[in-house]
Amino acid sequence: MSAIPAQLAPLDDGIRQPTAYHVRKGAAGTAIQIRDFKLWYGHSQALFNINMDIERGIVTALIGPSGCGKSTLLRCFNRINDVIDGLRIEGSITLDGEELFGSKVDVISLRKRMGMVFQKPNPFPMSIYENVAYPLRIDGVRDRRILDEAVERALRSAALWDEAKDRLQDNALALSGGQQQRLCIARAIASEPEVLLMDEPCSALDPIATQKIEDLINKLSGDYTIVMVTHSMQQAARVSVNTAFMYLGHLVEYGDTEAVFTTPKNTQTMDYVTGRFG
């Protein structure tokens, strides 16, 4: 998968444009490695034998019908699922070669290496500034200069600075849905994590806000390893380099986005991407 054509063939929808970062695809190696990963919620198994290498510095999309286990898998990466009662796992997931579920893992510092953006914008009911500063505050940063800098950098990266700079002390809940989601992205990247996990970040947003978030993801890829769950195939096609298709807890097909969408090896994938899904 090292030879990437400079000019990608247009997809059916014709929207997808190549980005500079596609060029770097595969260059930086594997960030997250999943081996024989199984997961149970109580007695019902939600993930079956997942094997997957997520590449560093690019956007990987997880697609599949609702309930197929995309969020479950994503939430395993930062172990935010830990709090669920009766959760049981088998197999391994490593981040940079370190086992995530090992007994020596400090979950708190693990989570600090991963930012997460949720389906529904979930800013804290406090000021915009405090929302972005939160990851630093919990690390005990109190120096106003460092905080100001980090907040501005994160808001600029999240393309929210221009809209928010005059109202940093306003309550974050006063922002629009799209702005709130960008604020959540700013919060997720404020402490400069390595991986950005996004669980359907645009599903609650209107098309214009979606467009902005997608542009933002494009801009951020390269700096971050981004894993994004989406149920919109167009979106996956537009922003991701690799795509994984999941179905009923199985990883059905995983590979170059273009390949998955144009020449799927699996008939289920074919049915799903062509919209003939049952």
Partner 1 sequence: MSTKTAAPPVLPAAMGKRRDRTTRKSVVVKDKIADWTITIGGMAVILAVAGIMVFLLQVVVPLFTGGTVGARSSYALPHTSQRAVATLVDEYKAIATMVMADGKIVTFHAPTGKGLQAPAFDFGGESATAFGSTLDHADVAFGFADGSVRFGELKMVARVIPEVDIPSGLTRIDDRDSTDGRSIYRRLPGNQARVSSVEVTLEDPQNISDQGSAIVALDYRVSGGANAGVKSFVTVDAGGVVRLTRAESKRNMLTGKSRTVIETSLLPSLPQGTQVERVILTERADQVFAVSGNTIFRYDTRNFETPVLAETARVLPEGVKVTAFGFLIGEQSIVVGGSNGAVDVYFRLPRPNALGSDGYELVAAHRLEPQSGAVVGVSASLRGKTFATLDDRGNVWLRHSTSEQTLIRFDRKNEQPDTVALAPRANGILALEQGRAATLLDFDVPHPETTLATVFGKAWYEGYDGPTYTWQSSSGTDSFEPKFSLIPLIFGTIKATFYSLLFAVPIALLGAIYTSEFLDGRVRAVVKPAMEMMASLPSVVLGFIAALILAPIVETWIGALILAFVLIPLALVAGAYLWQLLPLDQANRLAGVPKLGFQFAQVAVTMFLSYSIAPQFETVFFGGDFKNWINGQSGNSAPFLFLALLPVSFGAVAWIISRFYGERIEALMLSRDKTGAAMLDLGRWGVILVGSLVLAFALAQGLAALGIDARGGVIDTYVQRNTLVVGFAMGFAVIPLIYTLADDALTAVPEHLRAASLACGATPWQTSIRIILPTAISGVFAAIMIGMGRAVGETMIVVMAAGNTALIDWNLFNGLRALSANIAVELPEAVKDDTLYRVLFLAALTLFAMTFVINTVAEVIRQRFRKRSVQL
Ligand X SMILES: Nc1ncnc2c1ncn2[C@@H]1O[C@H](COP(=O)(O)OP(=O)(O)O)[C@@H](O)[C@H]1O
* Residues in 23-42 that interact with ligand X by CB under 6 A: 41
Would you count residue 120 as binding partner 1 (CB under 8 A)? Answer: yes
Answer for the pair 257, 243: CB distance below 8 angstroms, yes or no: yes
Site string for ligand X, 81-100 (x = CB under 6 A): ---x----------------
Tell me, rounded to whole angstroms, the distance of Cα 32 from its chain centroid.
13
Give min distance, CB of 89 to Mg ion, in A. 18
Strand pairing report for 250-256 and 242-247? antiparallel
Q: Judged by CB under 8 A, does residue 204 bind partner 1?
A: no
User: Angle 38-111-192 (CA atoms, 0-180°, nearest 5)?
Assistant: 130
103 binds ligand X (CB under 6 A): no
**Does the footprint of partner 1 cover residue 116 (CB under 8 A)?**
yes
The site partner of 83 among Mg ion, partner 1, ligand X, none (C-beta below 5 to 8 Å per kind) is partner 1
Q: Pick from 5, 140, 275, 278 the residue near partner 1 by CB under 8 A.
A: 140
For residue 49, is it left (φ>0), alpha (ψ between -120 and 50) or beta?
Answer: left
Pairing of strands 98-99, 114-117: unpaired
List 105, 204, 248, 259, residue binding partner 1 (CB under 8 A): 105
Query: Do residues 141 and 147 make contact, with C-beta atoms less than 8 angstroms apart?
Result: yes
Interface map 57-86 toward ligand X (x if CB under 6 A): -------x-xxxxxxx-----------x--
